Amino acid sequence: MSHDPNCLFCKIAQGLIPSQKVYEDEEIFAFKDINPGAPIHFLIIPKKHMPMLESAQAEDAPLLGRMMESAPRLAKEQGCRPGKDGGFRVMVNNGADGGQEVYHLHLHVLGGPRPWKK
């Protein structure tokens, strides 16, 4: 598994920097956002260092699929209401113009009662 020794999220996934872990398996790590934009806000990252979505290769498709598949389950576990009366948002920022601040691919999962500040 590739890691960038200077990457904040690689360090979090390796347990070198503390986080509020939501989920972990051999390929992905999820943790609460330190500056939440909604009542429920966590990030899902690959443990493999991937700077941004644009960096993903065809062989990364199963990993990206697992990340997306985990979002609804983790959102529900974190307190998001299921169904059309509840729900959540999944957001990926890519590059500076896309609002990306940490260059390690991450999915933002936001939910809970609205309105949110973001």
19 phi and psi angles, rounded to 5 deg: -150, 165
75 phi and psi angles, rounded to 5 deg: -60, -45
- Band of pLDDT at residue 116, cut at 50, 70 and 90: confident
Q: Domain map of the chain by residue range?
A: 8-111
Question: What predicted TM-score, i.e. pTM, was given to this entire model?
Answer: 0.94
Query: What is the overall mean pLDDT for the chain?
Result: 95
Mean pLDDT of 91-117: 94
Instruction: Judge whether residue 71 has pLDDT over 70.
Output: yes
Q: How many CA atoms lie within 13 A of 16 on its CB side?
A: 11
- For residue range 52-62, list pLDDT tens digits in order: 999 999 999 99
Gap between the Cα atoms of 23 and 19, Å rounded: 11
Mean pLDDT of 77-103: 95
The token pair that represents 20 in the structure block? 């509020």
Show which residues are catalytic: 106
Q: Given 1.20.120.420, 3.30.70.270, 3.90.45.10, 3.30.428.10, which CATH number is that of 8-111?
A: 3.30.428.10
Percent composition of the chain: helix, strand, coil (DSSP 3-state, to 5): 25, 20, 50
